[in-house]
Amino acid sequence: MQSNAAFKRALRGPGHKLTRLPVAEPRSDEALMAAIATGDQVAFARLVERHLARTVGLATRLMGSRADGEEVAQEAFARVWSHAARWRPLGGGGNARFTTWLYRIVLNLAIDRKRRPTHAAMEDVDEPVDEADDGFVQIHRRQVSSAVTEAMMKLPERQRVALALCFFEGMSNIEAGKIMSLSVGAVESLLVRARRSLRQGLAGVYEELSEG
Amino acid sequence: MKLGRLSAILEAYGADPERWPADEREAALALTRSSVPAARALAEARMLDAVLLGQSFPDIADEPERFTVLHSAIVSATRHRAAVTWFGRWFGFDLTPSQLWPSIAGLALASVLGFAVGLGGLLKSEVDHETDEIAVLSPIELPAIGQ
């Protein structure tokens, strides 16, 4: 509540009356980051709420495990909180949008973690499947999913990242290039190599699908 | 657009035109409609897309309880971190090395001065004890009574 009051005061500026209610409008990531830089936890909660699902999704794709993905997401938001004061918005001295910066943090944390030896989380171990009803379909889906995850994890780091950003997260090659600090051409080249490797690595699944 | 470029686009971005570079999308789509080899390349890319999209991770947005738990964990961790940060700022932990340097120098100077003062006091104290010991152990020469 205090943060809302502070936000209203900031919008009013000295000696100006508030003519409309700014709280009814969603605050931009940049506005939230400015508030977080002053220690505003309400703004932080709002920002996390807005980006949590996609951050977990990206981290999970990069890590190949939901549990690891959630841990990376937690760590990434902790960094957002602790580095908020140093972040500069695009056009305000910075060179990236908030999401570009956030995904770069996720990417770095995921790469860092991937290089460390880990143990498999219990959560990632397949649960027994009820073979009644669509049990066999479920088993098949899991097998395909596991095969793709395994093949993805075998890709060189940068190919995996490019594929996760562009194919799975639907980012443009320009945005992916900014996150990865690469040119659009370099991103495209990584994507081509990644998909070629996956086509070879997933030949069995691929043929099964072609025949079906 | 030539078939070679379309193949490169399909190789890189897959079969969904939404993922293709915006400035080449229309030309690429037109080629897939007018050329049989292009249409075949599109179908092949679609096949690989289908396999890749078979990788399914549950979306946390579809699990409100899990989302709430994770969200709370992240936000509550910052409350603790906020207290630590406040404590850290009080001692200058969040300053850059150049900003921190005067504080370190001041602390070091104070430590040296404190040590010097303490050592000086200790030495003085030892001397006093020594004097006292000499005074206790030395025979006292008293004047003879009745002389």
ipTM: 0.74
Cβ proximity of A195 and B48 under 8 Å: yes
Segment A77-93 shows an average pLDDT of: 86
Chain A touched by B22 (CB under 8 Å): yes
What is the Cα–Cα distance from A37 to A35, expressed in whole angstroms? 5
Sign for the pseudo-dihedral over CA of B19, B25, B31, B34: positive
Residues with Cβ within 8 Å of residue A126, at least 6 apart in sequence: A142, A146
Res. B140: pLDDT tops 70: no
What is the Cα–Cα distance from B143 to A186, expressed in whole angstroms? 107
Cite the DSSP H helix spans in chain A. 2-12, 29-36, 41-63, 66-83, 98-115, 135-154, 157-163, 173-180, 184-201, 203-211
Find, in chain B, the residue whose alpha carbon is nearest to that of A146.
Answer: B55
User: Across-strand partners of A90?
Assistant: A94
Question: Which pLDDT does position B135 carry in this prediction?
Answer: 56
The candidate with the shortest Cα–Cα distance to A21, out of A3, A42, A5, is A5
Taking an 8 Å cut-off on Cβ atoms, the answer to whether A148 and B11 are in contact is no
Nearest to B74 among A53, A74, A192 (CB): A74
Percent of chain B scoring above 90 in pLDDT: 42
Residues with Cβ within 8 Å of residue A162, at least 6 apart in sequence: A176, A180, A187, A190, A191, A194
Taking CB atoms and an 8 Å cutoff, what residues of chain A touch B58? 66
DSSP code, position A53: H
Both tokens of B106, joined, read 């001041």
Q: Which fold has domain A127-212?
A: Arc Repressor Mutant, subunit A (1.10.10)
Alpha carbon A172 to its chain centroid, in Å, reads 14
Cβ proximity of A94 and A88 under 8 Å: yes
Taking an 8 Å cut-off on Cβ atoms, the answer to whether A145 and B56 are in contact is yes
What does the pLDDT look like over A100-140, one tens digit per residue? 999 999 999 999 988 776 555 545 545 555 555 567 777 77
**In terms of C-beta density within 10 A (0-12 exposed, 13-18 middle, 19 or more buried), how is residue B21 classed?**
middle
| Domain range summary for chain A, segments of one domain joined by + | 1-125, 127-212
Question: Which pLDDT does position B110 carry in this prediction?
Answer: 87
Class of A1-125 in CATH = mainly alpha
Amino acid at position A89, single letter: P
What does the pLDDT look like over B43-70, one tens digit per residue? 999 999 988 988 778 889 999 999 999 9
Chain A touched by B77 (CB under 8 Å): yes
Provide the mean pLDDT of chain B.
Answer: 80
What does the pLDDT look like over A22-35, one tens digit per residue? 555 678 999 999 99
Taking CB atoms and an 8 Å cutoff, what residues of chain A touch B59? 53, 57
Residues with Cβ within 8 Å of residue A97, at least 6 apart in sequence: A29, A89, A90
Sign for the pseudo-dihedral over CA of B26, A168, A165, A197: negative
pTM exceeds 0.80, yes or no: no
Res. A192: pLDDT tops 90: yes
Taking an 8 Å cut-off on Cβ atoms, the answer to whether A167 and B14 are in contact is yes
Tell me, yes or no, if the two domains A1-125 and A127-212 fold the same way: no
Nearest to A48 among B74, B81, B82 (CB): B74
Taking CB atoms and an 8 Å cutoff, what residues of chain B touch A73? 70, 74
Taking an 8 Å cut-off on Cβ atoms, the answer to whether B52 and A56 are in contact is no
**Å between A18 CA and nearest CA of chain B:** 30
Give the Å distances, CA to CA, from B44 to A3, A121, B4, B33, B51.
Answer: 53, 36, 15, 15, 11
- Please name the residue that has the structure tokens 């700014």: A22
**Å between A86 CA and nearest CA of chain B:** 11
What does the pLDDT look like over A168-180, one tens digit per residue? 998 999 999 999 9
Question: Which pLDDT does position A211 carry in this prediction?
Answer: 65
Find, in chain A, the residue whose alpha carbon is nearest to that of B74.
Answer: A74
Taking an 8 Å cut-off on Cβ atoms, the answer to whether B82 and A152 are in contact is no
